[in-house]
Structure 1
Amino acid sequence: MNKTNINYRNNLLLFSIAFFSFTLSSPPLFLDPDVAWHIAAGDYIIKSKSIPFYDPWSYVGLEQQWYNISWLWDMLCSFLNQLVGFHGLSILLTVFLSLICTYCYQSLVSRKYPISHDATMISLALTSLLFIEIGCLRPQLTSCVMITFFMNKLHNFCYLNDEKALNKLPFATLIWTNSHGGFLILYALLAVFMAIAVYEKNKVAIKKIIKISVICSLTTLVNPISYKIYIGSLRTLNSVVIDYINEWRPFFFGQSYSFSMLFLVLIMAGCAFHTHYTELRIKNSDWLIGLAFLIASLLSVRNFSNLATSGAPFIAGIVDRSLPTSKFTIKLKNSHKALISILLIIVSISIHAFLVITKNDKKIGLNRVPVELIQYTADNYPGSRIINNYNLGGYIILFGNGKIKHLIDGRAGTAFNESILNEFVDIINRKTSVLETAVKHNVDGVIIHEMVFKQESESQKKNWNIVYNSKKYYLLIKNK
């Protein structure tokens, strides 16, 4: 049996295990409310055959240009949703997460580091555990794949003398730039390999990395908003609202079981390595990039997905040097690998089929979203201006079919100016109330959670009628 067939069977087995695991435990499709507006944005682009430069849904949308960096991802989500629906999208998400884990495994194995199988599997288990908790249909997944892809190609160029590997980076840059603002990370990756080339005094590598860096930089300008894509990306990073969004907050132990477990393993393995060993069995590039993503993850938990995927060699390297070799290894025959893979895929598909047939919404995740309230508002108060909860904005866009003009949603700094975002922050900090903001904006209605409504003053409540309630949300319409 040649190595290609062995790798194929190993990849298939790993994919099958991941597919089965994510089928049982992956998060719902709408784990994050941003998924809704991504689908809606794709619908708008496909229907209008153009990319809007100003927000067509919010009543404050004309106050700032909308930097829709993820338009390509949005179109893909919209197309797939129209093709297979929400249940189909949830299945495709499960497949995509499984492919990411398989790709991480393949990229790690292809480096041919003298790392134990145990360390590799622990690294992948941590990656899978993280995606079980946070994996949802957002363009961040594109960055996870692209960072790993860039690392692989640059690794092959620098350490395996594969000059053709660099030729694929411009096209990858084109896709990445038009899918997610995380494309800025490509400069950090190129800088790491440039630093290594300079340290090793490899003049040929230095020239080629400079050349590909220039080409990739120019490629980033091939997008609907040209150089303004950098403005849009920086608006995301510098927006006042970042401090109030969980995924942008610094790490603290216990806030997430997958983040905490990954961090704990690295701390324990790092201590053991520091005590007993003097060197890692990985290249400097993987060590530097992994360390950088670890620091970035501590500053913002949003980066843990990048650490778990692109930092897999770093994690495996540390774990490998701190764990004893297993005395009782399990070796499967190739025929057994194929049989297990087929059985796991059949069982996984059967589970998905059962959920679709029984119309079980467990994998959709709309059980806490007041979809009926939003649709009621759109049908009975079309064109109305509504003050809304930040996390409901995306759902209002998608399920309101553009009939409702809302205030704010998850696009934050890429679609709304600082004045609007500061008003949202003032509501969070209770410097002003929701109903006071509604009066200031002279809106027609408010979609408000019942707990927030109870905290509003009685004098303000008198100006509004509760006309509909669903899933702990009220629709308030102004008294005439």
Structure 2
Amino acid sequence: MSLSITSSVSSRSAVRGLVPLCAAVGAYLFYLSAGEILLRDTDTMWQIRVGQWILDNGAMPTSDVFSFTRYGEAWISSSWLSQVLYALVYGGDWAGPVILSSLAIGATVAIFLHLLSPHFDPARAILIAALALLLSTTHFLARPHVLALPVLLAFIGGLIAAADRRTSPSWWLLPLMTLWANLHGGFVLGLALIGPIGLEAIWNVEPARRRELIVRWGVFGLAALAASCVTPYGWNSLLGATKILSLGKLLTLIGEWKPADFSKPSFFEATLLGLIGLICYRRLTLPVPRILLLLGLIWMALSHVRNIEVFAFIAPLVLAKPISEQWGTASAGASRFEDNRSAPVVTILAGLAMLVGASLTTTMFVAQHPFKFLPMFSPVAAVDVLQQHKAERVFSTAPFGGYMVSRDMKVFIDGRAELYGEQFVLDYYDALDARDVGQLLGLLDKYRIDATLLGADSPAGNVLDHLKGWKRLYKDDIAVIHVRADETRAGAVPASESSN
């Protein structure tokens, strides 16, 4: 009978130990199979081009080399390591970036479940992880912030775990901060949360230990600040990462920086209201610092939709310990630490089998499924016409900028809003809307534009169809090109022949 019980316990512990890996592999395969949802933003293209530039030149960019409007102006890449990684896996097709991004999402799921495991049984933890993925999927793109997401979660999760134990953070979190600072400018969030999370630990500790803990968290905060500066740019990485926050009104116009919109039903709205209702119904009690931390995460998500993923993965960690203590969800999860030592061989072998299976599945799937960017962001034929026309100063929309950079064209604007500045981008938006024709023409003259590349239904493109001095050179379902009427050059393709 004892052997039977021991075998049963070992089997359960093996399964329990494999939960994070199983979920991670599942998430990886899902996002791999739906890889095109990761290829919805042409920022990916210029990110890769920056990585290729770094590899080709063996140096970090310190000034702009990709636009003609800001050429030579100071600019640093706070995501240089992610850009290099994307450039290394990009082999002329999109399989590499999709695989790399899907791996990062899978790693995020594994870390998330590991952090939840002391407080929830596997079924509840997987349900929470699924909700976090659903909330975050709209911002899952083949871009640096996705590669930084598992590091973000590990660092902030480590801080919260230390607060839960009423101790200071592990020094092993410092290398994570350095890695994060080289992967993506979002590392400033980690620095900003050290204080609020540290306050939680200090608030609940015994008075006799409070002074010691204040010192330890303070020293860790200073060390984390120093660790964040271990980049090719030193202190400038911190300054450059915060520059985007100085764009003022412009942040309300850029899609991912817009505030959450509750004028239409959304999954985020339903999740937030459901969370509030559940907390009220079950009468969850939180310490003051944890209330402030939760409110801060909600405020971030309401202020900028790109922060919804931070709320999705960090809010459950903030609530995990109080929920497990007050709602009794910890018992099944806590036994994991007692049982999982009894079947390490089974767990390791099963894990290796899953990894080998995932690798074989990836190889077979990629061989049969070429990944493609959304055509609406890849004006291939239109750029061919521009290059044939030898256009040098092209007024284009920002979504086309990434593709143009990938074709080695100097652009009017791309996704680097912090480089171009608030007023420049606001003028660009006004010109696209074409509400003031004089303003549009003034911008085209100011920057000596010789051609335009706009969306097929762009208001500015419709206006240029009827303006003296401009004529349509090309149009298809994606883009339209106009050139100055007195600058028709040899080799240009007549609009009548090239239009669809």
CA deviations over 1:169-214 (Å, ceiling 9, x no partner): 3222222222222111123221023323442342222111111111
**Residues 60 and 429 (structure 1), Cα distance of their counterparts in 2 relative to 1, 3 Å cut:** same
Is the contact made by 2:25 and 2:358 (CA closer than 8 Å) also made in structure 1? no
Do residues 372 (structure 1) and 395 (structure 2) align? no
Query: 2:94 maps to what in 1?
Result: 86
- Point out which structure has higher relative CO (alpha carbons under 8 A, 6+ apart): 1
Of 441-450 and 197-206, the range deviating more from structure 2: 197-206
Do residues 49 (structure 1) and 58 (structure 2) align? yes
Query: 1:271 maps to what in 2?
Result: 280
Provide the C-alpha distance between the structure 2 equivalents of 1:167 and 1:243, rounded to a whole number of angstroms: 38
Post-superposition shift, 1:372? 1.5
Is the contact made by 2:78 and 2:240 (CA closer than 8 Å) also made in structure 1? yes
Do residues 189 (structure 1) and 193 (structure 2) align? yes
RMSD: 3.5
Do residues 440 (structure 1) and 446 (structure 2) align? yes
Post-superposition shift, 1:305? 0.8
Do residues 477 (structure 1) and 477 (structure 2) align? no
Paired AA for residue 193 in structure 1: I
Post-superposition shift, 1:476? 2.1
Provide the C-alpha distance between the structure 2 equivalents of 1:34 and 1:451, rounded to a whole number of angstroms: 22
Query: 1:417 maps to what in 2?
Result: 421
Who wins on radius of gyration, i.e. which is larger? 2
Is the contact made by 1:59 and 1:406 (CA closer than 8 Å) also made in structure 2? yes
Do residues 149 (structure 1) and 154 (structure 2) align? yes
Post-superposition shift, 1:106? 0.8
Post-superposition shift, 1:44? 0.9
Is the contact made by 2:399 and 2:414 (CA closer than 8 Å) also made in structure 1? yes
Map of 1:114-133 to 2, 5 A cutoff? 115=120, 117-133=122-138
CA deviations over 1:321-350 (Å, ceiling 9, x no partner): 99999xxxxxxxx99999899689858964
Query: 1:357 maps to what in 2?
Result: 368
**Residues 246 and 418 (structure 1), Cα distance of their counterparts in 2 relative to 1, 3 Å cut:** closer
Is the contact made by 1:107 and 1:152 (CA closer than 8 Å) also made in structure 2? yes
Provide the C-alpha distance between the structure 2 equivalents of 1:471 and 1:341, rounded to a whole number of angstroms: 48
Give unpaired runs (5+ residues) of structure 1.
326-333
**Residues 389 and 205 (structure 1), Cα distance of their counterparts in 2 relative to 1, 3 Å cut:** same
**Residues 303 and 102 (structure 1), Cα distance of their counterparts in 2 relative to 1, 3 Å cut:** same
Provide the C-alpha distance between the structure 2 equivalents of 1:389 and 1:79, rounded to a whole number of angstroms: 28
Q: TM-score, normalised by structure 1?
A: 0.82
Post-superposition shift, 1:18? 2.0
Query: 1:251 maps to what in 2?
Result: 260
Is the contact made by 2:14 and 2:347 (CA closer than 8 Å) also made in structure 1? no
1:228 paired residue among 225, 230, 236 = 236
Query: 2:80 maps to what in 1?
Result: 71
Query: 2:456 maps to what in 1?
Result: 450
Is the contact made by 2:19 and 2:122 (CA closer than 8 Å) also made in structure 1? no
Query: 2:494 maps to what in 1?
Result: none
Paired AA for residue 463 in structure 2: E
Of 470-479 and 70-79, the range deviating more from structure 2: 470-479
Is the contact made by 1:291 and 1:314 (CA closer than 8 Å) also made in structure 2? no
Post-superposition shift, 1:232? 2.2
Provide the C-alpha distance between the structure 1 equivalents of 2:79 and 2:103, rounded to a whole number of angstroms: 21
Post-superposition shift, 1:156? 4.3
Query: 1:331 maps to what in 2?
Result: none
Is the contact made by 1:20 and 1:345 (CA closer than 8 Å) also made in structure 2? no
Provide the C-alpha distance between the structure 1 equivalents of 2:436 and 2:322, rounded to a whole number of angstroms: 49
Map of 1:423-434 to 2, 5 A cutoff? 423-428=427-432, 430-433=434-437, 434=440
Map of 1:5-404 to 2, 5 A cutoff? 5-25=14-34, 28-62=37-71, 64-82=73-91, 85-109=93-117, 112-113=118-119, 115=120, 117-160=122-165, 166-199=170-203, 200=205, 201=207, 202-239=210-247, 240-253=249-262, 257-273=266-282, 277-279=283-285, 288-314=292-318, 346=357, 350=361, 353-354=364-365, 356-359=367-370, 361=371, 364-373=372-381, 375-377=383-385, 379-382=387-390, 384-398=392-406, 400=407, 402=408, 404=409
**Residues 59 and 463 (structure 1), Cα distance of their counterparts in 2 relative to 1, 3 Å cut:** same
Name the SS of the counterpart of 2:414 in structure 1: coil
Provide the C-alpha distance between the structure 2 equivalents of 1:432 and 1:321, rounded to a whole number of angstroms: 61
Post-superposition shift, 1:370? 3.4
**Residues 372 and 26 (structure 1), Cα distance of their counterparts in 2 relative to 1, 3 Å cut:** closer
Name the SS of the counterpart of 2:473 in structure 1: strand
Of 288-297 and 179-188, the range deviating more from structure 2: 288-297
Paired AA for residue 396 in structure 1: M
